[in-house]
Amino acid sequence: MSVIGLIQHAALRLTDASGESGRILLSLFIMLASAKLMAELFERLRQPAVVGEILAGIIIGPSVLSLVQPSSATEVLGEIGVVFLLFTVGLETRPGDIRKVGRIATAVAVLGVVVPFFAGWGLLVLWPGYSAIEAVFLGAGMVATSVGITARVLSSMGFIGAAASRVILTAAVIDDIIGLLVLAVVSSLAEGRIRYLHIALTALIAIGFAILILTVGGRAVRRVKPRVSSLRIDHSFLLFALVLCFGLAAVAGMIGIAGIVGAFLAGVALSEATDDTRLHLQAGALTEFAAPFFLVSIGMKLNLSIFLSPAVVALAAVVTVLAIATKLIGCGIGALTMGRRRALQVGLGMIPRGEVGIVVAQIGLALSAVGDKIYGVVLAMAVLTTLAAPPFIKIAFAPETRLPQDDDEVLDQPLG
């Protein structure tokens, strides 16, 4: 029996002996241990730890060792991981920073949706053997940006406060909202009807929700902070912050946008209301524990068997290159007023599709709107762009030496 076979057999024996709870605990142990080992290896190789953590998911997942199978437990923990990640990023972001980059970020987000969508749609219209609805779903899969991946890379490099980083994070949040609205339209098309009123209401509520939290969230937190801090329970303010984080994430999910948008806005509201470094340290520790589950989960979802078909490999390669190029071009053009170098940083930072592209693929398959081939292509594109982006981001930001006030001068320039 091979080494891989022995490992799989030992894991199977352990899970059979310990029941359902034992299987879950063993899966979480393997995910966390493999993620941190690969992260350490990639750090020693001077490569982004994020790439190592995603590769760990591919290795332990169904495609290679099959030590861990994607399940509801791993999905939930992965979702918690990205919620913590965006919450921590929000703590480093002031509402004024968002307002300052708002015009540029909106241009980046809109072009970062329009250019990839029509490129993906047009490619599959011209590529023989695929339906019109599959072309629309491919375009939708190429639209949104995984803000969690880029935030993880920039945070680990210490550039989360740079001008380009603020534009990327704000644009990615806007991008997620637009992308989910696009997905709502595409899903309606697959079902045979477009619910215009529902989509319009979702858009209005989502925009109103974001504006409300950005304008009054900080003041509300400042008002309740003294009362929360005077509570007798331990870590009272941390617990309040977590309740706010998951509460706003839940509200965001209920109104039809990604929960991570609510978590990010909760962090922003708290950043304006407190300079408590202890909260930042506590949130950072939670993120270091939970975020790897999100990254490993992405890797586990890549099915390497799709690469056995030369035709699918060719299409996946073209789609991945197109996905990278269209974000780089579309988002880069939107950020040109910041200068070419920062426009390049913004374009590269918007490349990873991550979990958002995977969600689009899963919805398309569930609606029977796409076949197994396009499902595999979108899945491969989502994971490959996520793997490709961190090294590019590291190279683009590596020579960054300008001071924060210099960045603000760039952002204050008129768009015209």
Q: List, in sequence order, every beta strand (DSSP E) within 78-226.
A: none
- For the chain, the domains span 79-294+309-411
Q: What is the pLDDT of residue 405?
A: 42
Does residue 189 surpass a pLDDT of 90?
no
How far, in whole angstroms, is CA 407 from its chain's centroid? 25
| Among 53-62, 106-115, 298-307, the least confident range | 298-307
Residues 281, 316: Cα–Cα separation, whole Å: 41
Mean pLDDT computed over 273-291: 80
Does residue 360 surpass a pLDDT of 80?
no
79-294+309-411: CATH topology is Na+/H+ antiporter like fold (1.20.1530)
Nearest to 125 by CA among 114, 136, 116: 136
Residues 293, 80: Cα–Cα separation, whole Å: 9
Q: Are 159 and 169 in contact (CB under 8 A)?
A: no
Q: What is the pLDDT of residue 4?
A: 55
Report the 3 state secondary structure along 317-370: HHHHHHHHHHHHHHHHHHCHHHCHHHHHHHHHHCCCCHHHHHHHHHHHHHCCCC
Q: What is the pLDDT of residue 34?
A: 94
Does residue 406 surpass a pLDDT of 50?
no
Q: Which of 41-50, 173-182, 218-227, 368-377 has the highest mean pLDDT?
A: 218-227
Share of the chain above pLDDT 90, in %: 18
Q: Which of 1-10, 33-42, 86-95, 224-233 has the highest mean pLDDT?
A: 33-42
Q: Are 345 and 164 in contact (CB under 8 A)?
A: yes
Q: What's the residue count for the chain?
A: 416
What confidence tier does 416 reach under pLDDT thresholds 50, 70, 90? Answer: very low
* One-letter identity of residue 310: P
The string of pLDDT tens digits covering residues 150-184 is 777 777 777 777 888 888 888 887 877 777 677 77
Does residue 246 surpass a pLDDT of 80?
yes
Q: Which of 20-24, 245-249, 380-384 has the highest mean pLDDT?
A: 245-249
What's the Cα-to-Cα distance from 367 to each of 145, 181, 196, 264, 305, rounded to whole Å? 23, 17, 19, 30, 23
The string of pLDDT tens digits covering residues 256-271 is 777 878 888 898 888 8
Q: Kindly state the tokens that stand for 231.
A: 């509570």
Residues 300, 320: Cα–Cα separation, whole Å: 19
Q: Are 50 and 152 in contact (CB under 8 A)?
A: yes
Q: What is the pLDDT of residue 333?
A: 94
What's the Cα-to-Cα distance from 77 to each of 25, 167, 247, 295, 297, rounded to whole Å? 12, 28, 17, 11, 9
Q: Are 95 and 272 in contact (CB under 8 A)?
A: yes
Phi, psi of 195 (to 5 degrees): -90, 85
- Contacts with 378 (C-beta within 8 Å, 6 or more apart), sequence order: 137, 138, 141, 319, 357, 358, 360, 361, 364, 370
Phi, psi of 306 (to 5 degrees): -65, -20
Mean pLDDT computed over 207-222: 86
Look over the chain and give the mean of its residue pLDDT values, rounded to a whole number. Answer: 81
pTM of the entire structure?
0.72
Nearest to 229 by CA among 292, 273, 174, 180: 273
